[in-house]
Structure 1
Amino acid sequence: MFDLTPFRKMSEDLFEQIAKSFNEAFEQTSSISPLSPSVHSFRTDVMEKEDAYYVVAELPGFTKDDITIEVEDNRLIIRAKRDEVTEERDDTNKYIRKERRYGEFVRQFYVDDIDENGIKAKLDNGILKLEIPKLQPSKPKRRTIEIE
């Protein structure tokens, strides 16, 4: 099993419905919604195949040293951290607009029945690709119990 949020409920609760409506209203006028996961997050695609899950994450401008990938308590956690660069300037160099984001960007996915030791990661041109092998299902054991 692979899910975008840990401990997701099967049906939307009232808060989720309100948040969804709130975000839809903001999406028409703004590229960032206040309750959207895109704030301090990054875009990912998750694909399931028979033997593995595949995650593709957009992390432009990050190096492999900026990114950590962990599995903890059935959660796959991808973190990318970018520190703000302080530039020296005088009164003639002023920002008109500053759009580059700094800080920690995090995505978490609920994972179950995966081979943690077999996970492979590759970063190429700002695209992080993960291959997450599934555990082979164990065959059901059958045992006959003797009656005394």
Structure 2
Amino acid sequence: MKYMFLKGLDIMANDLSNRFNQLFDDSDRFFGNFGRSFFSGLSDSFKDMKSDIKENDDSYQVVVDLPGVEKKDIALDFKDNVLTISAKRDSFSDESDADGNLITSERSYGSFSRQYAFANVEESKISASYQNGVLTVTLPKKAEAISNTHHITID
């Protein structure tokens, strides 16, 4: 009898646990995307502008992935030893159904920018190219900044 009573409590506990889990599963479906569209517009530039920076003896090179951005929508500025890359990605047509239901959207659009600090850059010789969604900016170093080993004699 005692075993049957405990077995009954165990079944009731499992049933309550299952109902509780189902409640959260259902609410997760309901609230799962709640706020996603609001927060999706608040993406940071680091996510939108993934980059590599290389340093050679005579220059720096910044390579930035900008998929979906047209060349005309990219602006480059160099002021006070800071390279600023700004870009704008236009909105896109989503793949939602007739009711406008879009399960998830990870593509971002809008304006974004990122800054990189460099020392001893020959501003007038900075060059850039854009091909297949990849921006490459080359920043030559000033001649006096290029390190040359110079032997100094002691008198």
Give the alignment's TM-score, normalised by structure 2: 0.57
In structure 2, the residue matched to 1:135 is 142
- How far apart are residue 72 of structure 1 and its match? 1.6
Q: Does 1:103 align with 2:110?
A: yes
In structure 1, the residue matched to 2:91 is 84
> When you count helix as a share of all residues, which structure comes out higher?
2
- How far apart are residue 86 of structure 1 and its match? 6.6
In structure 1, the residue matched to 2:68 is 61
- How far apart are residue 56 of structure 1 and its match? 0.7
Q: Does 1:71 align with 2:60?
A: no
Mapped to 2, the partners of 1:127 and 1:85 lie a distance apart of 20
- How far apart are residue 42 of structure 1 and its match? 1.2
Q: Which has the larger radius of gyration?
A: 2
In structure 2, the residue matched to 1:144 is none
The two structures, once aligned, show a CA RMSD in angstroms of: 2.6
Among 54, 68, 74, which residue is 1:47 paired with? 54
Mapped to 2, the partners of 1:118 and 1:111 lie a distance apart of 14
Gaps of at least 5 residues in structure 1 are 1-35, 139-148
In structure 2, the residue matched to 1:124 is 131
Give the alignment's TM-score, normalised by structure 1: 0.59
Mapped to 2, the partners of 1:118 and 1:39 lie a distance apart of 26
What is the number of equivalent residue pairs in this alignment?
Answer: 102
Q: Helix, strand or coil for the counterpart of 1:137? A: helix
The answer to whether the 8 A contact 2:45-2:114 is kept is: no
* Letter of the 1:103 counterpart: G
* Letter of the 1:134 counterpart: K
Classify 1:90/1:98 alpha carbon distance in 2 versus 1 (closer, same or farther; 3 Å).
Answer: closer
* Letter of the 2:82 counterpart: R
The answer to whether the 8 A contact 1:79-1:106 is kept is: yes
* Letter of the 1:114 counterpart: V
- How far apart are residue 53 of structure 1 and its match? 0.5
